[in-house]
Amino acid sequence: MKKYLIVGLGNIGEEYTNTRHNIGFEILDSFADKANISFSNARFGSISEYKFKGRSFIFLKPNTYMNLSGSAVTHWLKSEKIPLTNLLIISDDLNLPFAKLRLKPSGSNGGHNGLRDIESSLNTTEYNRLRVGISNEFKKGQQSNFVLSKFSDEELLKLTELKETVNELIISFVMSGISITMNTYNLKN
């Protein structure tokens, strides 16, 4: 059975729930709810497994805090013997408009500390990542406050549709691969 590691980035703790920086956690929770699976505590994070058409999806929400996500990703790739090509990291992105998706097989960390740590731990920028736009409508010097802020009521309404789209994207990534999924979802979005 082919295995895939799907990692949603975020920070643990109630104070971070429903914040922009935790969109990765939110998306994985949405998938778990729909698939009727649950997360359990494990080494370096919360883990859940979903099996579908001969594939095993291993979902990880690191408990290492955003800036140290690399150790969790590296541990689970090695312990589950998952090839780097079967890794998908889901993170927030200030450089994209709200709810805009950008799936890529490699690239820079774009100033995202979680991606920077993963890049350092893996010793490569060649890993699949899905960036989810959280907007950049903040005053100069307020970036940290903005990423840790809650979504507006209007944004929360759009998030439901966004999570559905990303759930479909995850299935497509596992079943059809990065190229087909990029062509479908980067253009659609």
- Residue of 20, 21, 75, 129 with catalytic role: 21
Say which residue the tokens 């999570």 belong to: 163
112 counts as catalytic = no
What's at 78, amino acid-wise? K
DSSP assignments along 51-106, one per residue: EETTEEEEEEEESS-GGGHHHHHHHHHHHTT--GGGEEEEEEETTS-TT-EEEESS
Contact between 125 and 106 (Cβ < 8 Å):
yes
Tell me the catalytic residues.
Answer: 21
